[in-house]
Every structure is written in structure tokens, then in C-alpha cells.
Amino acid sequence: MTVLVLGGTGEARALAEHLQSDGTAFVSSLAGRVTDPRLPVGEVRIGGFGGVEGLQKFLRDNAIEAVVDATHPFAAGISANAVTACMREGVPLLRLARPGWAGTAGSDTWTWVDGHDEAATAAAGGDRVFLSTGRQTLHRFVGPLARHETLVRVVDPLDIEVPARWTVLRTRGPYTREGERNLMREHHIDTLVTKDSGGTYTRAKLDAAAELGVRVIVVRRPAVPEGVDTVATVTAAVSWVQRR
């Protein structure tokens, strides 16, 4: 049996390690949106499939017998394509998604919004904004925050022009609470904008914001496609693969 792991997350890398240890044949796929991604163990392909039909062809050509979608909770496009492709090809599909931050400490005090445009409008009520939503959605904030002192943190160089009052910080996590606290103090941040990525990898900024009394705006996750088996841990995903 060969498993396709749609990856790009820490959970996907951990799953690859388990599959390799178990002797399960697998290939990991990364979207290729990050210039220097952290690669999992084992065989890796990088780049898009070319839509649903391209993914179907990959499943057939590589005799894939199971797919684990362990992409980022906001990678809605590939997740939707995986549902359709797997359904058409009769390939079992599992969604591995880390739990979100809703219901965790302090989440009831945050401003929850349904999209990045709504987040931009809400953020405009602040004076000094820290944008931690990733570079792919930054264009949604340019207009509403054009005159705001704004700190943007990204991994790769931006492909858009940003307002003169914006500061772009290129760095890669994980981050510590102390480091996040110092960063927010240095830039006098009063509003943090992020998305409900979940997990502990980027949680520190939320804890630091709580300590400093910084307003937090969180973009809700897109809905998980209906009818897809979903687990929250790598261990559960490994068990699902073993049962195949």
C-alpha cells in the first residue's frame, strides 16, 4: 500500500516519520509556496497537481491507496480538491487537522471574524497593528491599514508593495512568549491579527498579547468538507493508515 500525505505542517512531518518507521510506502506532497520549506523524511514532491483532474491522475499513476490531508487548516483549496479526487477514484481520505484555539484560555476575549476582509476592517480600529496572517492574504489589509503603523511578519519575501508606514519582518518560528512580548513592546502594538491555526507552534503571540493587554482579532477556519473522516492527532492518523 502507498499513502499520499498532503503536507506542509509539523503534523505531516511527524506522520511521515511514523510511516517510515512502520515500513509503510508513502510520498509527501508540498504546495511549494515556501521558498525553503522544512522537508519531511522520505520521498517528497513539490508543486501543485493541476486541480482535481491532476490529482486524480497522480493517484492513478502512483497506485495511491490512501490519502492523508495534513495540510494547513487554511489550505481550503487543496483540501476541497482532495475530497473530489478521492471520491472519484475511490481512494480513502483522512483529514488530519490540529485543534483550533477556540475554547482555549483567553479565546472568549478575542474578536472572531469570518474572513480577512472583516479582519482588516476590525484592525483599522487600532493604531499599531501586528499582522501575523501570512503573506498570501496581505493584499486584503493594504487599503484599510494604509495609514496605520503596521508590523508584518512573513517567512518569504513579499510579492506586493506595502504602504510606507509598514514594517516587514522576515523570520521563521517557532517563537517564544518572551520574544513575542518583546517584539510587541518594541513596536508598541495595540492590535494583533492572526488566524486560527491552532497548535502550540505559534501560540506564544496570543499569550504575549494577553499579558500586554493587546486586542486580538482571529480569523475563523474554513469549514471542513462534509463526509470526510477527521482526526486531531498524528497517533490517530497512524492508526487509520494501519487499519487500511
Give pLDDT, residue 197: 93
User: Length of the chain, please?
Assistant: 244
CB 93 within 8 A of CB 86: yes
Say what the pTM is: 0.90
What is the Cα–Cα distance from 184 to 128, expressed in whole angstroms?
A: 10
Q: What number is the average pLDDT over the span 74-98?
A: 96
Looking at the structure, tell me whether residues 11 and 94 fall in a common domain.
yes
> Within this chain, do residues 93 and 195 fall inside the same structural domain, yes or no?
no
Average pLDDT over residues 16-45: 92
Give SS3 for 29: strand
Q: Is 82 found in the same domain as 113?
A: no
Range of the domain at 147: 107-219
Q: Is the pLDDT of residue 241 over 90?
A: yes
Do 83 and 154 lie in one domain? The reply is: no
Alpha-carbon separation of residue 231 from 7, 106, 124, 154, 235 (angstroms): 15, 24, 36, 29, 9
The backbone region for 214, taken as left when phi is positive above 0, alpha when psi lies in -120 to 50, beta otherwise, is beta
pLDDT digits (tens, 9 = 90+) for 151-165: 999 998 998 999 999
- H or E segment and range at residue 6: strand 2-6
111-126 mean pLDDT = 97
Q: Domain check: are 27 and 125 in the same one? A: no
Q: How many domains does the chain have?
A: 2
Spacing of C-alpha 50 from chain mean position: 21
Task: Give per-residue pLDDT as tens, 206-229.
Answer: 999 999 999 999 999 998 878 899
| 239 and 184 share one domain | no
Asked whether residue 164 falls in the same domain as residue 91, the answer is no
| pLDDT, position 201 | 84
Mean pLDDT of 7-13: 95
Report the CATH number that the domain containing residue 192 is assigned in CATH: 3.40.50.720
- The reply to whether 196 and 117 lie within a common domain is yes
Split at pLDDT 50, 70, 90, the class of 137 is very high
